[in-house]
Structure 1
Amino acid sequence: MVWWGVMGAGVAERAAGTLLHRLAGKVLVRLCYILRYRLGPSRPATIDDVEVLYHTPHYIVLNKRYDLLVNSNDPNVLTVQTQLRNLFPHLANKKLTHEFRFSHRLDFATSGLLCISLHKAAAGAVTKCFVRREADKYYLALVRGHLSQETVDIAVPIGEDMRPEWQRIRMAMAHHPHAGRCKAAHTRLLVLQRGLYNNYPATKVLLKPSTGRRHQLRLHLHHLGHTIVGDYTYSNRRDMWPHRMFLHAHRLVLPLPHTHIDVVSGDPFTAEDPRNKWVPVETLNTLTEETYLRMKEAETDTGSRKKGS
């Protein structure tokens, strides 16, 4: 009876700890919202806050705003789905769970290019493109600190963080004691500029993921010791003051059988926007076709070495 009592007390203690952790997390999320949206320069997204950059009878590519869900089961929550329904009511398919075929995902806090397929065959073609790793995605990020190397390859598997208090909130690296089943993840990084964010050292980088694991870029950068500016989750809930998380899906290339999608959005992290508090000091690379090609060729060389090993 004593053994059962001790075990029961341990389970109850862990459950209470998990509950308190999640409650504290909700309080801190609310505080982060107040700092960014009530006291800071951010403004909530609106139904019209959507920019369509590419539109054919088969696909839409839009520039998603930061701090916006792609879709939700709550009809009262503003999402990309509700924005699309408002803009293209004739394209909403009530037979689909979320009315549109979202060919890939972006995190709530991440802005940038999102592809929507407008019929089943189009969605199948994009899925095959991603499965075969023929799609090219490029991201821009502003990270804490100065990276000493101009290029970095990060190849560390990623899995779920299995701690009850972090489940469905954080991912974990393979070496983490609480990591669940991990899958291979590879990210290539190129330094664009070194400078200052709010008078502290920061670096603007171009990222090219070869795989598409959840939170891959955020976790890989955190692993390097250069967490993305404004990444509330992977800063252990401390980085609340920036007006947003500085991660943006900048370019999307989909070599599909009957069309070639290649869409580039602007750089939202320029010094011209005072909200960014970004002052570049040193420029190593610029966003040219040669830069993208350099990233792609380096990725191809890495893949060839892996196959030959």
Structure 2
Amino acid sequence: MSSDPASIESLHVLYQSDDYIIVDKHWDIRIDSKMWYEKQTVQMQLQHHFPLLADPSTYYGFRSYRCKAASSLFDTTFVYSGRTHQLRVHCSAIGHPIVGDFTYSLGADDSPYRMMLHAYFLHIPLEPQHLLVTAGDPFVPAVDPKWVSQRLLRTLNATIESILEQRKTKEKEREVAKREEERKKKSKQPRVEEQSEEQRRACQEWLSEWAGD
């Protein structure tokens, strides 16, 4: 995405269904804001593009939602004006704010035209089929000539393929562990024949006691 300013129209919808809307927001726009001077937010863009989903009675102006657990992967492969490209709040917490992050650098990092943070790939483990969405790579010399490749560990596509393969392996391992746990539970339960024999013995003992009375 270029350095052009945000507008009410600059909302790139990557995926839309009855349950999800996934967007690639402009880099220079907030998700939401209650400040009167914030004229451009993703909240306002969504209200503009999807008026039927707007609900002023909710905090964010849209109907209720559920959040899923999430994890992030980032790969340091480029530098910008001599500094390493990294990820946000967790990076700031360990003393390494993202390049161009004016807020978390306490106003010191004001050289780049934007904060260098971008979600390239999103994976939502839905059933029966996982949802996979990519947003493209804005950090290329064609968009910003200051981007210079120093050393390429692996391409973005190779990184994504590796992530998906690792997750497939983990899912298979969890499925195997689940089947093994079910097998163990079943092995601890008495077989039907054993239950029937035990019931016959109990019934015979009861009849014998009853006949003796």
1:86 aligns with 2:48: yes
Give the counterpart letter for 2:112 in structure 1: P
Distance 1:290 1:260, change over 3 A: closer
Task: Quickly say closer, same or farther: Cα 1:85–1:95, change in 2 above 3 A.
Answer: same
**Using a 3 Å threshold, how does the CA distance of structure 1 residues 70 and 236 change in structure 2: closer, same or farther?**
closer
Q: Which runs of 5+ in 2 are unaligned?
A: 172-213
**Separation of aligned partners in 1, 2:91 and 2:29:** 17
- Counterparts of 1:203-282 in structure 2, within 5 Å, are 203-204=84-85, 215-220=88-93, 222-223=94-95, 226-257=96-127, 260-274=130-144, 277-282=146-151
| Equivalent residue, structure 2, for 1:48 | 9
- 2:163 is matched with 292
Alignment check: 8 A CA contact 1:48 1:83 kept = yes
- Secondary structure in 2 aligned to 1:62? strand
Distance 1:255 1:296 in 2: 10
Amino acid at match of 2:75: L
Distance between the aligned counterparts of 1:217 and 1:252, measured in 2? 19
Structure with bigger gyration radius: 2
Please tell me the residue identity of whatever aligns with 1:274.
Answer: D
Q: Which amino acid aligns with 1:291?
A: S
The answer to whether the 8 Å contact 1:137/1:251 transfers is no
> Which string of whole-angstrom CA distances, capped at 9 and with x for unpartnered residues, describes residues 71-99 of structure 1?
12245522111111111112212332322
- Report the identity percentage: 36
Q: 1:295 to 1:233 in 2, by over 3 A?
A: farther
Superposed CA deviations along residues 187-229 of structure 1, whole A, max 9, x for unmatched, are xx533x24x423x2x3445x6xxxxxxx533315x53xx5421
2:30 to 59, 69, 76: 69
Q: Residues of 1 paired with 2:54 and 2:129: CA distance?
A: 23
Judged with a 3 Å threshold, the aligned counterparts in structure 2 of structure 1 residues 239 and 74 are, in CA distance, closer, same or farther, namely closer
Q: Give the drift of 1:280.
A: 0.5
Q: Which amino acid aligns with 1:241?
A: S
TM-score (ref. length: structure 2): 0.65
Structure 1's 227 and 75: CA in aligned 2 closer, same or farther, altered over 3 A? closer
CA RMSD of aligned residues (A): 3.1
Q: Give the 5 Å matches for 1:1-309.
A: 42-74=3-35, 77=38, 78-101=40-63, 120=64, 123-124=65-66, 127=67, 130=68, 133=69, 135-138=70-73, 189-191=74-76, 193-194=77-78, 196-198=79-81, 200=82, 202-204=83-85, 215-220=88-93, 222-223=94-95, 226-257=96-127, 260-274=130-144, 277-288=146-157, 289-293=160-164
TM normalised by structure 1 equals 0.46
RCO higher in structure (CA 8 A, sep ≥6): 1
Distance 1:259 1:290 in 2: 17
Shift of residue 49, structure 1, vs aligned partner: 0.9
SS in 2 for 1:248: coil
- Please give the alpha-carbon distance, in whole angstroms, between the structure 2 residues aligned to 1:267 and 1:237: 26
SS at match of 2:13: strand
| Deviation (angstroms), 1:283 | 0.9
Contact 1:230 1:242 in 2 (8 A): yes
